[in-house]
Structure formats: C-alpha cells, structure tokens
Structure 1
Amino acid sequence: MSHLHHQDFTSASSALPTTSLPARSDAEPGYGVIRRNGAVTPFDPSKIAVALTKAFLAVEGNTAAASRRVHDIVEELTRQIADALVRRADHGRAFHIEEIQDQVELALMRGEHHKVARAYVLYRDERARARAAEVQAAEPQRPSLNLRTDEGRLVPLDLERLARVVEEACEGLADVSAERILAETQRNLYDGISAAELALAPILAARTLIETEPNYSHVSARLLLDMLRREALSFVHGRTDEARQSEMGERYADYFTAFIRKGIEVQLLDPELARFDLARLGAALKPERDLSFQFLGLQTLYDRYFLQTDGIRFELPQAFFMRVAMGLALREIDREARAIEFYDLLSCFDFMCSTPTLFNSGTLRPQLSSCFLTSVPDDLDGIFKSIKDNALLAKYSGGLGNDWTRVRGLGAHIKGTNGESQGVVPFLKVANDTAIAVNQGGKRKGAVCAYLETWHIDIEEFLDLRKNTGDDRRRTHDMNTANWVPDLFMQRVEANADWTLFSPDEAPDLHDLYGPAFAQAYEAYEAKADRGEMKVFRRVRAVDLWRRMLTMLFETGHPWITFKDPCNIRSPQGHVGVVHSSNLCTEITLNTSDDEVAVCNLGSVNLANHLGDSGLDLARLERTVRKAVRMLDNVIDINFYTIPEARRSNLRHRPVGLGLMGFQDALQALRIAVASDDTLRFADASMEAISYFAISASSELAAERGRYPSFDGSLWSRGILPIDSVELLAEARGGLDLDRSSTLDWSTLRERVRSAGMRNSNVMAIAPTATISNICGVAQSIEPAYRNLYVKANMSGDFTVVNPGLVRDLKARGLWDEVMISDLKYFDGSLGSIDRVPADLKALYATAFEIDSSWLIEAAARRQKWIDQAQSLNLYIANPSGRALDTLYRLAWKRGLKTTYYLRSLGATHVEKSTLKGTDGKLNSVSVAPVVAAPEPITIPAAPMACSIDDPTCEACQ
C-alpha cells in the first residue's frame, strides 16, 4: 500500500461535515489534552471523529456511499475511544496527545480495520520524523543543564553518568531499551534539577514501561537501587558519595561495617552486632543479588523495611538481609557461620521471614513474632487488661486474635451492680479504636480480629459489626471479625433443625468443650432452657442463622467462617489446653487461657524456587526447610516480649509456623492449570514434603537442644502426626470425605518423633504472605493469580503488576502487542474474554475469579491433612448467590478445613464486563459444577463487594 501523506488526511475531511460527528458530552468536562508543546486545550471527542474520518476516507475514497458507511463506523469507534480514555484516567486529568492517538490505533486494530490502521500508523510515523527534523534544525545543540547539589551549588549535570546508570540497569535483560528510558528521562530534566529529582526521573520513566515488558520492573528496581546507594553511602560515610552497581563488588564489605556502626550510633541497632566478625560477614555479601528485585519488592523494602533516620535510608538490600540474619544468630555458638547460612537463605529468596522479624531483627527491641492470640475474661478488670495487652502487643508489629466468647451477653445479670449487661459489642468498639490508635510506628496499621462462638447470645449483633448502617456506636469498621463455629451447628444446618443461643455466664463450660463432649453439654443446656431453668437464651432456625452469616460475609467481608472442632480435635496440644480462636489471618490455631497468650513465629518457603526438571527439587527443599525451622526456633529465645503471658506461653510450647508462597508461580512453571486434578496432586505432594521435612527438622532440634517443655502427653509424644490426626476428626464426626494418600516414609519419622521428641509444639501454618511475597517477586501464599495485569495498591503506593510467564508465552505465539495489553486492561487482567488467546493459555493463566473456588477448597483440603495448624484460605466468587456461597462453605466444613479467610467478590463494573457479547454471560473460562448442592436457595441481597483485594488500608492484606 502506498504511503499516505498529510494532505491526504486533510483533504479527506471535506467529504463529511464535522458538525454531524458525535461528541461524548459526559467525557468532556474536567478533561484536557496536553499538546506536544506543553499547552493544555479542552478535550473534544469530535476531533477524534475528524481524525478517524480522514483516515477512513483517505483509504476508501470519499464517495457519498463511503461517507455514509464511514459515519456509522466512526461514531461507534469515537465512543469506544472516549470511554477508554476516561476509564484510564482520574477525574480532572489531561490526556497527552500521544495517548489519544494510541487509543485511536488500538480501536482501529480491534475493530479489524487493518488497512486504515496501517495507514494511520504510517502517517503518525511520518509526522514524528518530520517533527524530529524540525526540532533538530531549530535546536542543533541541547542547552547545557546544571544540577543543584545538596549544598545549593550549581554544577554541570553529568549526562554521561546518567546514561551509564540506565545502560547498566538494562544489562542482561531481554526486550528493554536504555535509549527509550533515556529519551523519556531527558524530557523531564531542567536546569537546576536537584540530585533527588535526577535520581527519580529514570525510575519514573522505566516504570511506565512495565505494562509493555515485565523486565522493565527489574530495570526500575535497579534504578531505584542507584538512588538508594547514593542515600545510604552518603549517610554512613558522612559525605556525598555514590556508586554504580558494578562498583559495589569492591565497596559492599566496607560499607557494611560502616553501616553496622552507624546503626548502633543512631540507636537503631543492638550494640551486640558490633561483636560479630564484621569483616567476615561483609566478605560473604553477594552484591549481585541486588539485581534480583522487581520494582514492587524493592520499593516496598525502601518505604517500610530499610533502616532510616530522619527520613534517610541507610540500609542497602544485602546489609538488610545480613542484619536480619545476625539478629537471628545472636545465640548460636558459631554465630558468624550461622548468620552467613541464614543470610544466604534469605537473600536468594528461597525463604523469607515474616514482616515483624524483618522489621525488628537485630534492633534494640527485637519483637520478631507475627501473631498473638488472647482469650478475654468475663470481668471488667480482665476485659480492659486484654485491651491494654492488645496495645502493647500491636506496638511492635504483632497481629492480634481475640476470643470474646466468655464475655456475657446482652441482658445477662451482673451480680456486682444487680444490673443487666450491655453485652460484648460495646467492648469490641473500644478494642477496635485501640487497634487504630496503635499504628505500629506508622509502618502498618494496627490490626485485630475478634472471634465469637456461634452459640453466643450476641452472635446476631456480632454479625452486623462491619455494616455501614445502623447505630455507629455498635459498629467496628476497622476490626476484623470471625465466627468460631462448632460442628454441632453445621450438623443442625444440614438437618434443618433449631439452634439455641446462650449467654456464657449461664453455660460457661461450652467455651472449653468441643466434639462429642460439646454436643452433649450443649444439648443438656437446651433441655434446661426447655424446663425454664435458663434466664437468657433464644432459639432460632440454624439455617436462618447460617443464611445471615453468609449474607453478612458477602456484604461486608466479615465475619470469616472458622471451625472450632477440627482446630481442637487435631491440635497436638489438646492435653494442656483449648484452642479458642485463630489469629488475625486465620492460620494460627494455638491454646489460650488467662495465663497464656499464644504466640506464633512465621516464615514462608518460596515454592517457585524449589523446582527441578521433573517437579519439586526435594533436596533443595529439605535444606531450606531445615534452616528455616532453626531460624524460627531461634526467634522464640531472642524475642522481645511486651507482656509476661506471651513469654510464658511461647517458652513453654515453642510453636512456629512454616508456610509457603509462590504456589501459583510453581503451577505455571510446571504448566499445570489451577483448576485441575494435577493441581490437587501437586498441592498434596508439595505440602507432604514440607510437612515431612519440617517435622524432621524440629525433631532434630529436639535432639540437639531439648524437647519443648509441654511435649509429654501431646499427640507428638503418642506418635500421632498431623496425617494421623485426620482419623481423630473422622472418628468424632462419624466419617470424613478426604483423600488420605501419602508417598513418604512416615512410619520411620513417626518413631523418631516419639523417641527424640519435638522442639516445637506446632511447626506449620500457611500465612497470607502479601508483603514478603512482593519482596520475593512471587504470588502470595497459596493464592491463584488475582489478575495477569493490574495496578496493585499498598502502603508504598500504586504499582503496575504484569505476569511475566504469560508475557513470555504470548510472545512465543506472536500475540504480545499493544492490542493485547489494552485488552488485558479492559478485561481486568483476564484472558477469558480475549478470543485470540488459545484455550491452553486461558486455562494455565486463569485468574481467581475465572475458576470455581471449590478447586481452592479441594487443594486446601489436600494440604490440611499435613498441617498441624491452618491456612489463610481466600475464596473468590465472580457472580455471588446464596446457593454458591452455601455450597462453598459447606464443602469447606465437610472436607475438614480448620478455617477460611476472606471472601472476595467482584464490583459491579467488573461483573458488567464479564457479560459482554461473546462471553455467553460468563466470566469463567475454567469452571466445574458445584460439589455440594444446597437444600434450599439462600437469598443474597444486592450489596457492595466484599473486601477489596488491593485495599491498601486492609492490614490483613499487607
């Protein structure tokens, strides 16, 4: 096709009166167009129509018949383009002229107007070259620019160094362009620019390209490193200093020694760190591992984790990992060797400690534990002591789970005042406000989850706590809530029977009972109520209460549904207490009492880093797990305890929680679709291996360091491992539909545990890992992909996230282009509605809302048989209905799961897109029929979505 010239487009406009072209009036107000000279003019969609008309008529001719046909096409395309621009923008934003022209190209290509699109592209290219020539002729030499130093002096701006830094950031990365970054960077330079602005300019230029090529995320991270190096080196050396990555091989060791001394000087680091052999540790640092970060991970560390004073970060990544490792090795015999061993594990992302450990290891207040569980007593002193304890525990980054079931209900008698109780809700309001007041030093919001058993007389008010309507004095808008559900209630739901609510002051033993003993006592209290011997009780249909639980879960995302009996029946520690609740994220199941506040110390294996040619690399996984369990056990002795009840409990039982992350990455690397039987088998095999190695490691530590003090009488001491405790649950329920298969030599391990003992009462729990998985650049925990391309919001800001595996596969098939990027944005990172994507890729890269969540429950059930604690299990539902929710949560209970976590649903705009023409009214590209049928429908009213998955204020998501 011949090249079209500027006059072709200009003359073509005469064939169609521009006054008849459409203009989307609701897109105009508040929007502007940034011209190439920087001027801003009002956004006028009719000008898009003019450009489209010129393009069509220049290709197809300007006959009357062509003009009429073109008018209809242009009208529709103009509306699409205006809609796309508005969708991409915040209200009041101005669009750059190039952005508008990009959308015109995409609309033409998507509409299959290929000849017109080609003509338009060629025309834009010709005009770009002409403008470049004009600029070169008018400005043959770029004016010199000056940099304003920190002292206020003007010095010549070193563009050569800038170019070297950008080129170095691109080294070894495919499909990235240093020239493109430099060109965009130089557009934003000006005379007198500060050093901080100069460092930021290439980062901003590179991060805008991430959506087109995932490797720009690594480029952006490396450019951020350059900024961080200048900040850190200058501070620790007391003078302006900077270094490129290629120079850090020689400089990291000297910097590290200076960093430790400076950290102690500014009273952030424990002086004991100076007693390590710093030269030996500095020599062990691996500067090349700085290049492993993606931008989201490094920016998160920069904003929230690296040590800083007066806003100046002076901790570089490898120093950070070594500082954490040193803090965990303080009490080792050869602590330098152990610190290097721990550092190697952390810095290669094979394993990552939890956020409190990363925040506080090696500092003056090493509060390294993640979770604290308390049981609130039924008296005023005890209630307010519990709220005070919450504040002290949250101060240094602990997440809280409170059991409130013992607090008497509304209308119960108070002997001391001869009055009536106002119930548990007013005290929950105080606990909610305390969590907000103690914000963990600004690093993250304080966070607490309140648990209440389903038989409590206040349960219906408890369900309403997160509603946005009603008396605000009886609402807790910031506190997470969870139902602690006994098996008997679920059995009553199944039988469509009645359920009786009691006040715990009249039925005190129900709090500590579970299984058949609970059922027996509960039925005895029902009989007392029938005889008129109970003052405060209420009878409801169990299924009506269940409906309300599910309705509130959908409307507000709370209360979460957790199951009391499997948590207790399968607990290794039933001989010394009762599990009364889980924690903030529903993965911890430890005993609590007035004398003991349960503590758990968390870390996660990066499963994606432990794959070999034929699946799991078991040798590498065993090495990682053995070291990780040792690190977690060390936390218990090093930890800074803010209340004595926490110290007493942790030293007596020594629980740890080893989990995993990167499960979705591992599936995709192995070419396993998440909604498949192969995923269930992989979930089973991977968790069996982690369980086997973790139990082995704790038993080896027991031989070296001694058993945990409360070992005798535990399930461990009786040779009952987690895989064996499944049978205890099956016996209590009269059966359990759960796969029991295994592949490893459990009989030998069982005998070793019986004879050598265990160092830790609990060793496994799968936490959400939302932030540490960002650091490692993998999918969080056991989660399916949320989207394949999206903007993630957290406390560090907004970040473009794109699935690099998907991009590689689309490139290999010639499908990765701007139209695909635009389609992914429009369909919220889902491939299901993009026709040209092959079915195998749709299945492999199916997102959370494209699969039936019963697959997630089935995979979780396979894992749960190997885990002595629980899992943070989110469930996703694109088109919620009462029957769908009922099916999911009954299935979770029937499969023996201990807990569930958030219910995620889609907002109205997402659901609307899922019913576009061509998708047959379905978003799901991968689905299965429900496994369990509901006996009758449950009506879910129209409501806002449940917890937003990328809500930056949701601490549980951080």
Structure 2
Amino acid sequence: MQTDMNRDQARPGVHAGDDAERDVAATAPGQLRVIKRNGKVVSYDDDKITVAITKAFLAVEGGTAAASSRIHETVERLTEQVSATFKRRMPSGGTIHIEEIQDQVELALMRNGEHKVARDYVLYRDQQARKRAERARDLPEPKHQVDMAVTMEDGSRAPLDMARLEHLVHEACHGLEQVSPDKIIAETVKNLYDGVSIKDVNTSMVMTARTMIEMEPNYSQVTARLLMDKIRAEALQYLGVAERANQEEMEDLYAKALAAYVEKGIEHELLSPELAEFDLAKLGAAIDGKRDLQFSYLGLQTLYDRYFIHHNETRIELPQCFFMRVAMGLAVREEQREERAIEFYNLLSSFDYMSSTPTLFNSGTLRPQLSSCYLTTVPDDLSGIYSAIHDNAMLSKFAGGLGNDWTPVRALGAYIKGTNGKSQGVVPFLKVVNDTAVAVNQGGKRKGAVCAYLETWHLDIEEFIELRKNTGDDRRRTHDMNSANWIPDLFMKRVINEQDWTLFSPNDVPDLHDLYGEAFEKRYEEYEAMTRDGRMKLYKRLPAINLWRKMLSMLFETGHPWFTFKDPCNLRSPQQHVGVVHSSNLCTEITLNTNKDEIAVCNLGSVNLAQHIVDGALDRDKLARTVNTAVRMLDNVIDINYYSVPQAERSNMKHRPVGLGIMGFQDALYKQGFSYASPEAVAFADQSMEAVSYFAIQASADLAEERGAYQSFEGSLWSQGVLPIDSIDILVKQRGEEYCKVDRSQTLDWDSVRERAKKGMRNSNVMAIAPTATIANITGVSQSIEPTYQNLYVKSNLSGEFTVVNPYLVNALKERGLWDNVMVNDLKYYDGSVLPIERVPADLKERFRTAFEIEPRWMVEAASRRQKWIDQAQSLNLYIAEANGKKLDVTYKMAWLLGLKTTYYLRAIGATQTEKSTINDGKLNRVSSGGGEAPAAAAGADAAEGDFSQAADVPQACSIDDPDCEACQ
C-alpha cells in the first residue's frame, strides 16, 4: 500500500493530476469501472475528470475572474470528450486503468491547443510517478501478524487489518523527525483485544501517540494525523463519499466531500442555501488536503469538539471543508465570489491568519453572527436597565462577548423622584446580569460572558470592586461575571500626588460621564466645590491612595475589577467627534463609542506573527499580503453579520469598526532567538506592530476607494490626517508631559499613509489585539502577545487535558545534547522552568524564561510600544510572581504612565500544574535543589503597600486554562 504524505502540487494551492483516483458512491452509465494503482476497483465518474482538468488549468492560469469563465467552458467541453471516448470504446461497460484516463486527458488538452496546460500536466504526472516509486521502496513490509477480530460499526466481526493500521501509522509519521512508527504500532497492538470495536482501534493509536508528546513534540502532529482517521471516517460515511480514507486518498476525495457536505448541510438547515450557488467544483479543486497535516493534537481536537458542524452529534465537517465554509460565508457578497473564497480559504487554512471564534462558528450558516464584541451603555431608568439586560441575553445567545457601561445608573441612597424613595444602586442589577449570563449561554457552545464597567468616581465603586469576593452577602456578589474599573486620568494624578478623591452619584453629576481630559478635570473640580459649600449633599471624600490600594487588593484577591483607563481611550479615539468611549469590552481590547441608541460592535481576527518570520526576520511583503486580505474579510463581516438587536446594526453600519490583531508573538521571538525579557523583544514588539498598523490602515483606505468611506468619516481623526501614532500628542497635551512617558520612534514612511487616510477610510477603527486563546490552539502557536506559560505543563480546556511542551526549547536542548528522560522529569518537577536546572546553559535559561520569571516591566514596555500604533487597545495579561502591594502599585502606575489604554487579567499564580505523579523519582532526577517552587502570590503584604490579607484558599486572579474562563476560549 502506498503512502503519499506530501504529494506535491503542480502550483501552490492546486493539484494538476491523479484526480481520477477517488472512491465514488454511484456507478456511472454504461457500468464503466476504474482500476486504481493499488488494485482497487471503483465506479467511473465524470466529476473526477472535471476536477482533474480544472486543477490543471488553475495551476497554469490561476483563479482570476478573467480566466474563470473560459476555464469553466473549456473544462466542460474536454470532460465530455474524454468520457465520450471511453463510452464509444466500451458501450456495454468495462474497466479502465487510471493511467488510461490520464492519457486521454493529456491527449484532449493537446488536441484542443492547450499546450501549456498539457505540458504542466505531463510534468506533474512524471513527478508523481517518481515519488510513488520512491515511496514503494521506502514502505516496509507489515511486521506484525495479529490474529484478532474487530467489531465493525454494524456489529459484524472482521479480521484486524494490520496492513491498514501500519499504513496509517507510517503515514502519520511521514516527514517528521524523531518519531517511531514501530513503537506506536507495538504499543497500540498491546492495548487491543479480540472483538475490540473498530473505533477503539483508532482511539488506541491516538492515545498511544499522545503519551509520547512530552518526550518529542512532533508526536503531537502524529497524534493529530491519527485522529484524522476517525474524523475522516465519521464525516465521509455520513456524506456517502467513502467508508474510510487515508491521507493520500483525501487529496482526491476533498473535492467531492465539499459538494456533498454543502448539500447535506443545507438539507439539515445547518448551512445557508447561498453556499450552493458557488461553483463547488472550482472551490473543491482549490482545497489543499495536505494542510490537514499541519495540526497539532490540541488544535485538531479543539476543532472537532467545538467548531465542526454536526448533525445528531455526528460531525459532518472535515478540516478543509470547515475552512472553505468559513471562507465562502465571508465571500458570499463579493462580486468575484469564487476567487475571493479561494483567497480567504488559503489565508485561513495556511494558518497565516485566523478569524475569531464567532466567525468560525457561524460563517456560512443560516444565522451568521460573526462579530465578537458588543459594548452597551445602560441608562438610568428601570425600563432602560431591563432593556439592556434583555439585549445582553439576545447578544449572548448568538455567541457575542459583552461589555456593559453601568456608570449612568444612580448610586445607593440616591433620590428617586418617581417613587419618592431611594435607589438601591448598581449592585442588585449586576446580580441579575450575572445570572443572565449563566442562564443564556453562547449558542450552547460556551458560557455567556459579560464585563461590567464603572467609573472610579461613582459612589458605588467601593462595593463594585468587591463583587467577586467569596465573603459577604451573596446577594450582592457576582461570582460568574467580570468587572473593570474605568479610571480617569485625574484619579491617577490624585493617587500619585496623594490627594483626596470624591465619589458622586451620577444623577447629581450627569455630564461627568461624557467628559474626559481637561474638560473632565475642570468640571469634576467644580462639583467638588459644590460639596464644600453645601450645594451637593450626597458624596463621599477619601484619600485617593486608599481607594487605589483597595482596588489593587481586590484585583490581587479576586482578579477583578480590571484596570482600564478612560482618558487615553477617548483622547486617542479616531471617533471622538461623534461620541464618547464609555467602556471597553469583555476582554478590554475594544474602545468604541456607545450611547442609548448605539451598541458598539467589533469584528476580530488575528495575524499569526510566527508564520511571518522567514529566515529569522519579519517578512514584510508577506505580512502586507496577509493584512490586506484580512482587513477585507473583517470588513465583509459587517455586511454579512446577523444582528440580534437593531442598535448594534445601526452602529456597525454607520462606523464599520474592525479589530485586526496578532498572535504567536512569543513564537516569533523564539524564531529570532530573542528572550521575551530583552530590549530586542521590546524593539520587535514596536516594529512588528508598526508594520501591521501601516498595512492595515492602507488596506482600509484601499477599501474606501473601492467601496466608499464609512458614514461618520468626516470630522474623524483620520480625516484630519491624525494617525494613531500622532494621537499621542493629544494625550500628552491633555495629560501633561510628566504623566506620559511614551516612546514615539518610528521606522516607516508614514506621510504617504496620512494622505491616504485623509481621503477616506472604510473602517472607523482598524486594530485591536484580542486574547486569541482558542484560535491560537487551533493554529498551534502561543496566544496573542502572551509569554510562554510553562515549558512543560498539562493544559485543561473544554476539549480535555493536553500535555503541552515547548518545541523550541526541546529543539534547542537537542542541539546541545541535553534532551533526555532526566530533563523531562526535571521540567515536570520544576513546573516547566529551566532556571533551577543547573546543566541548562545560561543563554537558554534566559531565552526560555516563563511568564512568571519575566519582570512585568518588560510586558508593560512591549505593550506600550504596540499601543502607540493601535487605534483601539490590547488584551494585556500581567504576570507577577510573589505579588505584593508595592509590585502591583508600581506595575499599574507604570502601565498608565506608558500610555496603555487597558489591562486585562492579573496572573498572580499558575493554576494548571504539570502532573508530578508520572515522575519516576523526583529526588533522583533533581539537578539543582534551589528555586524549585512555582511562583506564587505573596500573602500578608505590608499595610503600607496595600492590605493583602492572608488568602491561601482564595482563588488568585484567573485560573490560566480554566475551561469556564472566557479568556481561554
């Protein structure tokens, strides 16, 4: 049996031959049959000829609109000619060898004057013949003779097909170093028994390979490839395409699988009927089956568990059909639908870029809710409050993350004119919001998730920051909801200068909510004067430093509320001419205007930065191509998106914001040999984000030329030629030079971009860095801008538990001859840290520091360098080992001084620990006795640094891979 793990294509993205080898379900007229090279006899099908010739043409002429029409007509004519030849020869039916069919295709191309295509086709056939010969020499004879029966799906028994089992394992290991097919086969057979189900045979292969990942990261890909056998069987059988298939066969089966999948999906009302209007033969020909080989085990299992469309719990979607479905859904309104769908497919399936989870869930479905984030402002009246909670439920139902601005709602004790009573404040309503998020999950795929924001001058702020405490009146606690402080610059100045701070009820100071910068400071001081002369009765004055310490203490103890900064979000907003940013979103990267009539919406996707490091440097040409296509995909979301509430559609159509971000930052550093805690990493953060910003703004300007500028463009900072890098001047002028220490260096020619932006932008906002945890899992890179959590650990999420080992570290240790069982056990013992292991060289210790071994100043500095280029914000988690009040105080003040708009979770301790039960003998394998404990949050800090009470049993910040944590999904 052949193995063809890496069968090359005639051109990138396309096949030009061997296309008549696919299994088919139906017998063609005349009962013609085809003998494949492995001796298998299958039904003849005209579609195979069509796909083969289409791929040949696409390989030479590409998929442009100009070529599309000619190719379609020519392919139809040539297919008829080839089929007619065989039907003439064998009117009563018969068998034809695959080579004969390909000879006729070649002859038909030549006779019709398609000499370039024919030449390419001939060369491809010759190339494939040589490869088959090489594989035939390399493939070992079956080594294991096993007398064992398996139970098939229908209950019948059959001998265990050891030849197929060995073929699958060898195919899975093909092209990967340091993996042993024989070892997997031997261990798999040990776990089998007479009568084992056919599904359990695959499970045994997968579990066997999975146990080997900690010693060799390449086994993660092996495991994924073995898992693919189960996925292929499940989908192909349901679609009626084939009973089973190996990787080699899938390269030909994918085209037929796509058409059958779209038909079944529409039939079961899982897919939009619009997908059937695409030229599925052309799209099927563009599918690259070899891209199934890219997945890590965690990535593929995550897709299977959470993303693939299913019917009656049967997954009917294959990985490349999944990417094509998403691409088709995003291209459905394009004039050149097929060409754009192929362009989008290639970007997604290559892992160069990945759309956000809601887009992956819902693109191409009957209800395409593709947007990630919704931001609302809650009004100060009962009807408006419950209307906002209703909107939360509707938005959450279709997989949107929510950010609610609660600052307008009057505080506890405020007068209510309508009832002549007193308000119960914000907190009781937040309890309802919390329970609504739990009750209405996101399409049954993940829990509902919401974050409430409150400005720091609100009279309920002290109770608000205690919402996540595990003590106190549970009716005034929200254990499932996130919260964030919306902090004005004036408060930070008062903290630094150790001055007093005054709390108000918003019904007494109604304009403060919409003011920022110097205007806020002036009005706030006027209200303070009113409290001093008796004109305002309801207020509270306290030292700003006391409130700041309480905020830090609660952040340490409960992980909430997060710290987000009102003034930089507004002063640097391109849209300050039409409204105010009142909050951020669920993950603190979106900064868009909200009001009672507009719910802000943002659409997210992330560039895989690691894929753009070529030969140890950032490939800017490739990055430009990726960003250009990505911005187009994001802009398409706005028009295609399903809006469950009208305020969201109104806002999105008017302003058209998108949020292009990055992921794989840590991988990109590894590929360049940089430590996260280094000036080189900070410089790369700066320059890489500058390049993304440069290309993203240009891409939006290009779209404006093609499609028109967004409605509220006139008067925006864009229209004035003020780019994100320029808006720092506004922040410095309003805040004061001494309170803004932002680096403003640049390397690219921004003058031309300013002129482009002034003429028109398609999108009011273009960039935002989201957490990307799940899509980073899919693509097999580090999430977002995060440092490595641990170099070896067990990751838990909704798909189960997965051993994660840092492949860059493993390869570096192999080069030094240091990778062995002892090193694995040392890493387990020291919770994935190389610092305590004496035999690890100093340069590797520095490069492979983990998150808690990096001083937070490096993370903040790198984030500051990125923030200057971003028109929105970034989800910035901060890792602080042995946290105390002083460390938190310095870190968060530095974040503000360096111009950050927001921060996200405080990670004070690691949550998921490597299982030590598998260590043979911890004491025997310990190389160094010092520093073995994982970093943990300090308790009982000095009162002068914040009242950090002893809290050993209190959850410290966020549990890093908690399946229930939205940030990890």
TM-score scaled by length of structure 1: 0.83
Match of 1:390 among 389, 392, 405: 392
Q: Which residue does 2:948 correspond to in 1? A: 940
* Alpha-carbon separation, structure 1, partners of 2:753 and 2:633: 22
Match of 1:619 among 618, 621, 624: 621
Q: Which residue does 1:956 correspond to in 2? A: 967
Verify the 8 A CA contact 2:145 2:162 in the aligned structure 1. no
1:924 is displaced (CA, Å) by 10
1:951 is displaced (CA, Å) by 1.1
* Alpha-carbon separation, structure 1, partners of 2:680 and 2:201: 50
From the superposition, tell whether residues 714 and 620 of structure 1 become closer, same or farther in structure 2 (CA, over 3 Å). Answer: same
Within a 5 Å distance, the mapping from 1:905-916 to structure 2 comes to 905-906=908-909
1:181 is displaced (CA, Å) by 1.1
Within a 5 Å distance, the mapping from 1:584-733 to structure 2 comes to 584-613=586-615, 615-733=617-735
* Alpha-carbon separation, structure 2, partners of 1:543 and 1:479: 26
Verify the 8 A CA contact 2:412 2:425 in the aligned structure 1. yes
* Alpha-carbon separation, structure 1, partners of 2:458 and 2:927: 49
Secondary structure, in 3 states, of the residue corresponding to 1:441?
A: coil
Verify the 8 A CA contact 2:793 2:912 in the aligned structure 1. no
* AA aligned opposite 1:584: L
* Alpha-carbon separation, structure 2, partners of 1:463 and 1:743: 42
Verify the 8 A CA contact 1:881 1:939 in the aligned structure 2. no
Q: Are positions 1:751 and 2:762 aligned together? A: no
Within a 5 Å distance, the mapping from 1:355-754 to structure 2 comes to 355-613=357-615, 615-735=617-737, 736-754=740-758
Q: Which residue does 1:213 correspond to in 2? A: 216
Match of 2:343 among 322, 341, 344: 341
Q: Which residue does 2:831 correspond to in 1? A: 828
* AA aligned opposite 1:493: V
* Alpha-carbon separation, structure 1, partners of 2:570 and 2:472: 36
Verify the 8 A CA contact 1:252 1:282 in the aligned structure 2. yes
Q: Which residue does 2:900 correspond to in 1? A: 897
Verify the 8 A CA contact 2:414 2:505 in the aligned structure 1. yes
* Alpha-carbon separation, structure 1, partners of 2:967 and 2:807: 26
1:919 is displaced (CA, Å) by 7.3
* Alpha-carbon separation, structure 2, partners of 1:145 and 1:696: 63
Q: Which residue does 2:240 correspond to in 1? A: 237
* Alpha-carbon separation, structure 2, partners of 1:922 and 1:684: 34
* Alpha-carbon separation, structure 2, partners of 1:636 and 1:141: 57
The more displaced of 176-185 and 894-903 is 176-185
* AA aligned opposite 2:346: D
Secondary structure, in 3 states, of the residue corresponding to 1:220?
A: helix
Secondary structure, in 3 states, of the residue corresponding to 1:501?
A: strand
From the superposition, tell whether residues 188 and 655 of structure 1 become closer, same or farther in structure 2 (CA, over 3 Å). Answer: same
Secondary structure, in 3 states, of the residue corresponding to 2:812?
A: helix
1:909 is displaced (CA, Å) by 11
* Alpha-carbon separation, structure 2, partners of 1:919 and 1:669: 31
* Alpha-carbon separation, structure 2, partners of 1:300 and 1:941: 39
Secondary structure, in 3 states, of the residue corresponding to 2:255?
A: helix
* AA aligned opposite 1:949: I
Secondary structure, in 3 states, of the residue corresponding to 1:508?
A: coil
* Alpha-carbon separation, structure 2, partners of 1:918 and 1:209: 26
1:46-97 CA distances to partner (integer Å, 9 max, x unpaired)?
xxxxxxxxxxxxxxxxxxxxxxxxxxxxxxxxxxxxxxxxxxxxxxxxxxxx
* Alpha-carbon separation, structure 1, partners of 2:157 and 2:968: 45
* Alpha-carbon separation, structure 1, partners of 2:742 and 2:319: 44
1:424-477 CA distances to partner (integer Å, 9 max, x unpaired)?
001000000000111123211110000000000100111110011111100000
Verify the 8 A CA contact 1:832 1:923 in the aligned structure 2. no
Match of 2:273 among 271, 274, 278: 271
Verify the 8 A CA contact 2:912 2:960 in the aligned structure 1. no
1:852-908 CA distances to partner (integer Å, 9 max, x unpaired)?
011000000000000000000000011011000000000000001000000001269
* AA aligned opposite 1:741: S
Q: Which residue does 2:83 correspond to in 1? A: none
Verify the 8 A CA contact 2:430 2:478 in the aligned structure 1. yes
Verify the 8 A CA contact 1:185 1:201 in the aligned structure 2. yes
1:956 is displaced (CA, Å) by 2.0
Q: Which residue does 1:184 correspond to in 2? A: 187
Verify the 8 A CA contact 1:793 1:952 in the aligned structure 2. yes
Q: Which residue does 1:22 correspond to in 2? A: none
Q: Are positions 1:791 and 2:794 aligned together? A: yes
Match of 1:856 among 823, 848, 859: 859
1:918 is displaced (CA, Å) by 5.8
* Alpha-carbon separation, structure 2, partners of 1:774 and 1:692: 27
* Alpha-carbon separation, structure 2, partners of 1:494 and 1:672: 35
Number of residue pairs matched by the alignment: 807
Secondary structure, in 3 states, of the residue corresponding to 1:722?
A: coil
* Alpha-carbon separation, structure 2, partners of 1:569 and 1:614: 37
1:170 is displaced (CA, Å) by 0.6
1:733 is displaced (CA, Å) by 1.0
1:565-619 CA distances to partner (integer Å, 9 max, x unpaired)?
0000000000000000000000000000000000000000000011123511000
* Alpha-carbon separation, structure 1, partners of 2:911 and 2:691: 42
* Alpha-carbon separation, structure 2, partners of 1:938 and 1:231: 57
Secondary structure, in 3 states, of the residue corresponding to 2:520?
A: helix
Match of 1:167 among 156, 162, 170: 170
Verify the 8 A CA contact 1:553 1:559 in the aligned structure 2. yes
1:155-176 CA distances to partner (integer Å, 9 max, x unpaired)?
2221221111111111111111
1:939 is displaced (CA, Å) by 3.8
* Alpha-carbon separation, structure 1, partners of 2:788 and 2:168: 33
Verify the 8 A CA contact 1:850 1:924 in the aligned structure 2. no
Verify the 8 A CA contact 2:830 2:933 in the aligned structure 1. no
From the superposition, tell whether residues 619 and 919 of structure 1 become closer, same or farther in structure 2 (CA, over 3 Å). Answer: farther
Verify the 8 A CA contact 1:878 1:923 in the aligned structure 2. no
* AA aligned opposite 2:531: A
From the superposition, tell whether residues 259 and 385 of structure 1 become closer, same or farther in structure 2 (CA, over 3 Å). Answer: same
* AA aligned opposite 1:780: Q
* AA aligned opposite 1:807: V
1:189 is displaced (CA, Å) by 1.1
Q: Which residue does 1:777 correspond to in 2? A: 780
Structure 2 unaligned blocks of 5 or more:
1-142, 917-925, 936-941
* Alpha-carbon separation, structure 1, partners of 2:636 and 2:957: 38
* Alpha-carbon separation, structure 1, partners of 2:458 and 2:639: 38
Secondary structure, in 3 states, of the residue corresponding to 1:724?
A: coil
Secondary structure, in 3 states, of the residue corresponding to 1:723?
A: coil
Secondary structure, in 3 states, of the residue corresponding to 2:639?
A: helix
* Alpha-carbon separation, structure 1, partners of 2:949 and 2:190: 52
* AA aligned opposite 1:223: L
1:494 is displaced (CA, Å) by 0.5
* Alpha-carbon separation, structure 2, partners of 1:410 and 1:592: 24
* Alpha-carbon separation, structure 1, partners of 2:390 and 2:664: 37
Q: Which residue does 1:261 correspond to in 2? A: 263
Match of 1:837 among 812, 837, 840: 840
1:936 is displaced (CA, Å) by 5.4
Q: Which residue does 1:148 correspond to in 2? A: 151
* AA aligned opposite 2:961: D
